[in-house]
Amino acid sequence: TVMQTGNIMTVYGGQSTGLVLTNNILKHNSYGIIGQNQAPGSGTINTFFPGADIRRNVMVKADPHDYPSDNFFPTSLDQVIFNSPSADDYSLASVSPYKGQSTDSKDVGFDPAALKTVSSSPSPSPTPAATPTPTPSITPTPTVTPTPTPTATPTPAPTPTPRPTLTSPALVASALVSVSTIAANVDISAAQLAPVVANIEQAYAAFVSESSNFASADQIDRELRIALYFARASYALCGTSVKVQSRLQITASRLSQVNNLLLSGSSSNVMLADDSAHAVSSASTTPIIGSADTRSSASFAPALAPASLATILGDPNQSPLSMQTSGATNIVNGNLPYELAGVSVTVGGRAAQVLSVSPARISFLVPAGLPAGDAEVLVTLQEGYVSRGTVTVAPIAPGIFTTSGNGIGAAVALDSITLKAGPFEVTEVATASQDKRTRLSIFTTGLSSGVVNTNTSNDLTVLGGPILNLAESVRVEARTSDGRLFNLAVEYAGKQSSSPGLDQVNIVLPSELKGAGAVELTVITGTSRSNTATVNIK
């Protein structure tokens, strides 16, 4: 059981035979098994490790297309279900889907009892090897072999090509039974659902390795992936206010379609590629999995920070993201709904709160606490549509909102005193303060969840509650059209309390910017830079 931050293996040089990689729990991270000048996964394995035995590994966030089928591919560590990782106890919990799933029917990953026994046992003293007694050499008596009478060699009858032994039909049938059983309940827990998801993942991985044997491989692949995506979404939504029964019923329906395509006529008659003339004529057309193009709502960059605002773009002509346009109105204690107009979003195996939905666009709040790296994004509708994409999660991903809504052009900025939009003067007439310099509030996201609060003396108290001021860790760079560069004073950087995921940065305009016209602003924290947005200075 390895909780590493890098790849599983990074390989270069010549080939190595005899590699055995079995029964491990590993984080795939960026490239998993990657070799010099080769694609990750099977490209590297086939080139550097011919004949490798790679089985029964739990590869977290790996793509099942890239690895041998007899492995497991959960989309997050949460689905492994350790006993107590916060206490460094990475033994598998009793409800983990990977208990008893190793090649010797033990738990995948390390064996805590065996490890304890070995680590507490004294090292045995070596026993000297006995000197072998030499065997005397015996010269055999030669024998005379009679010359046989030749017989005519019969012409062999043609041997029919044996059909391959396929595991995916049985695995799909088993998964269909387990999903149908659990979908009969209204209240379903994550612990109940975890092994069901693992069964579908195993069935899909087996099908990928056997797909060339099936006449309707493309349709089976999509139907099976839709079933898997709805199952994953259901697992992520467990524990929220969303009832996942309808999504599991969709999962069962898709698995039933797969089962019909895999079997033509009876459970013993597997429909192979050479049986295409006997394919089921009533099979439905190949379903569509829509694209979920996921970006920061502010910068429109394909990188998100936890607890930031994000946008999903889709093609309603291919697969709608929603059947209607709707905005969240039931915000309770600052919390948005996890389902809006029958639409739910999951990121990295976790449910996301939804702000608004339409057939072509969704706005949502990225789940807090997501680990850095690539994350799967799933949009599932109660009407049966699904869209999928991947996005990069970073601890900090600052973005400035723009009036165009696409991260380009004029910043969403207000005079902090008058709350009016620009153009702005460098001095403020409306303030009673002796400091007449104009303060601007610019609105951002992806900032406050990851920046460290190193100076608590400038924190605020609003309505009796603390608000962290991260100004000491944030810079705002201003560039004029004639190339002059200014670092603007930041008086406040942190959460904007009126909306979840929204940040605010208050800056001071220096007198040197008077008459500058369009000024480009960039928010910087550490090595992370936002998009560039403009304000107009008179």
pLDDT block averages, 10 residues each, the chain of length 538: 89 89 92 83 90 93 87 88 84 87 91 76 54 48 50 55 75 94 90 93 93 89 96 95 93 94 52 35 62 96 95 94 91 81 96 96 96 95 95 95 95 94 90 86 92 86 82 95 95 88 95 95 94 96
- At 236, the amino acid letter reads A
Give the residue from 163, 164, 198 showing the smallest Cα distance to 179: 198
Q: How far is CA 521 from the centre of its chain?
A: 32
Both tokens of 520, joined, read 């480009």
Q: What pLDDT is recorded for position 37?
A: 72
Give the residue from 235, 229, 271 showing the smallest Cα distance to 254: 229
- CB atoms inside a 10 Å sphere around CB 366: 31
Q: What pLDDT is recorded for position 462?
A: 76
Q: What pLDDT is recorded for position 333?
A: 65
Q: How far is CA 205 from the centre of its chain?
A: 17
**What pTM, to 2 d.p., does this model score?**
0.70
- State the Cα–Cα distance between residues 210 and 35, nearest whole angstrom: 25
Q: What pLDDT is recorded for position 75?
A: 85
Helical H segments across 121-162, by residue range: none
Q: How far is CA 28 from the centre of its chain?
A: 11
Residue 249 in contact with residue 359, Cβ under 8 Å? no
Residues 6+ apart with CB under 8 A from 331: none
Q: What pLDDT is recorded for position 425?
A: 94
**CA dihedral of 24, 27, 33, 36, whole degrees rounded to 10:** -140
Q: What pLDDT is recorded for position 518?
A: 96
Q: What pLDDT is recorded for position 139?
A: 45
Q: How far is CA 233 from the centre of its chain?
A: 11
For β-strands 290-291 and 386-393, DSSP reports them as: parallel
- At 125, the amino acid letter reads S
